[in-house]
């Protein structure tokens, strides 16, 4: 069961992470409209984010390279499964499916998290948690407006489900902090590995690559291409991953994954404010339903003993700092 202070801190970090992830669509859409491919945008996003976190991460590591070596397997798994895999899988899914369907499939990863904590950790969800799952997913269907113009393709569905595995991996791997690296170091190292994997995929032609260095349109104004590059890297990657990992370690993978659904709501709001993509009434109702579902899941986490969240403590003395092309149903980029 979560103590009040840890729970509130974790929820705050999770909301900050979701809000940061939710801005990715606005920044990425500016690059895509300027001629960038989705593959180049997400690779640069992850790579620049890793570089930006390098100095603060090394300061926090304080020369304890043995800690990094001891967790090399976890870092490689996080970078490959939680960063690179969902980026690649979502890219291929959205090339064959409507954006809403692709996102819904990816976000089904939160159900995999519930099944994982039940099967692997014996944390059977309570009835309240189960109700929250159903309500939250139902609200997500409304927010993404999946029923309007849905495009279904078997291969696209397969890629969408692979992206779901990647999303689930993000929450599950972030929660495991036995002998863990500080959250900031975990984010830096994981993003670095993810950038290398995505870069390798681009080199062999698996990930189409094209960039431009022309001015872009962002929030109705012409600006340098560096602005959306820095935004998508520093806000929707560096900040988002660092706060997200810190949140998962406090809340556990199950609860944090459902709070993460609010990313879609933030994406809708960001697209509305920056791109003028006003949500319709169905999406607004869906947003409220998602929030109700998250509240139910949160209440379910407080019910002992089988419903206790799988929270691993953050290493003593290591306070985390204020911490994978897709839109609301229209404009957001893969989170992980």
| Tens-digit pLDDT profile for residues 18-58 | 999 989 888 988 998 999 998 899 999 999 999 999 999 99
DSSP secondary structure code for residue 78 in this structure:
I
- If one counts every other C-beta atom within 10 angstroms of the C-beta of residue 208, the result is 13
* Alpha carbon separation from 240 to 69, 199, 237, 263, 282 (Å, rounded): 25, 21, 5, 10, 28
Residue 74 lies in a domain: yes
Q: What is the span of the domain harbouring residue 39?
A: 4-301
Residue 34 lies in a domain: yes
Residue 238: exposed, middle, or buried by beta-carbon count in 10 A (0-12, 13-18, 19+)? buried
Q: Give the span between the Cα atoms of 328 and 6, in whole angstroms.
A: 30
**What's the whole-number mean pLDDT along residues 194-222?**
92
Residue 317 lies in a domain: no
Residue 156 lies in a domain: yes
How far does CA 242 lie from the centroid of its chain? 11
Residue 213 lies in a domain: yes
| H-state helical runs in the chain | 4-22, 24-33, 38-61, 65-70, 72-77, 85-94, 99-107, 109-119, 127-144, 154-175, 183-203, 226-230, 240-251, 253-259, 262-275, 281-301
Residue 306 lies in a domain: no
Lowest mean pLDDT among 14-23, 150-159, 167-176, 196-205: 150-159
Assess contact for 335 and 82: CB atoms under 8 A.
no
How much is the pTM?
A: 0.82
Lowest mean pLDDT among 92-96, 129-133, 167-171, 195-199: 92-96
Give the pLDDT band (50/70/90) at residue 280: confident
pLDDT one-digit tens code per residue, 319-333 = 443 333 333 344 455
Residue 69 lies in a domain: yes
Residue 270 lies in a domain: yes
Task: Give just the sign of the alpha carbon dihedral 190, 195, 196, 197.
Answer: positive
Domains contained in the chain, number: 1
pLDDT of the residue at 3: 72
């Amino acid at each position: 069961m979560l103590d009040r202070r840890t729970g509130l801190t974790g929820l705050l970090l999770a909301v900050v992470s979701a809000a940061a992830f939710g801005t990715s669509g606005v920044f990425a859409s500016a690059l895509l409209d300027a001629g960038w491919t989705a593959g180049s945008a997400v690779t640069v996003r992850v790579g620049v984010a890793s570089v930006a976190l390098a100095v603060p991460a090394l300061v926090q590591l304080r020369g304890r390279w043995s800690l990094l070596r001891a967790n090399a397997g976890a870092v490689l798994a996080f970078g490959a499964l939680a960063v690179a895999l969902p980026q690649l899988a979502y890219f291929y899914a959205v090339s064959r499916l409507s954006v809403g369907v692709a996102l819904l499939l990816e976000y089904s990863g939160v159900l995999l998290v519930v099944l994982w904590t039940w099967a692997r950790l014996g944390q059977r969800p309570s009835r309240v948690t189960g109700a929250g799952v159903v309500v939250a997913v139902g609200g997500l269907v409304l927010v993404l407006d999946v029923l309007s113009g849905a495009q279904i393709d078997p291969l696209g569905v397969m890629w969408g489900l692979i992206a779901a595995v990647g999303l689930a991996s993000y929450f599950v791997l972030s929660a495991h902090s036995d002998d863990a690296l500080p959250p900031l170091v975990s984010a830096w190292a994981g993003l670095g590995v993810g950038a290398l994997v995505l870069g390798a995929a681009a080199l062999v032609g698996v990930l189409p690559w094209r960039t431009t260095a022309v001015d872009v349109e962002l929030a109705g104004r012409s600006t340098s291409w560096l602005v959306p590059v820095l935004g998508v890297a520093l806000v929707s990657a560096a900040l988002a991953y660092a706060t997200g990992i810190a949140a998962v370690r406090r809340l556990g993978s199950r609860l944090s994954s459902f709070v993460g659904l609010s990313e879609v709501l933030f994406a809708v709001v960001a697209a509305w404010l920056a791109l003028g993509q006003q949500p319709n009434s169905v999406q607004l109702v869906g947003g409220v339903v998602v929030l109700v579902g998250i509240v139910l899941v949160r209440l379910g986490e407080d019910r002992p003993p089988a419903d206790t969240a799988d929270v691993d403590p953050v290493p003593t003395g290591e306070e985390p700092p204020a911490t994978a092309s897709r839109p609301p149903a229209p404009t957001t980029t893969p989170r992980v």
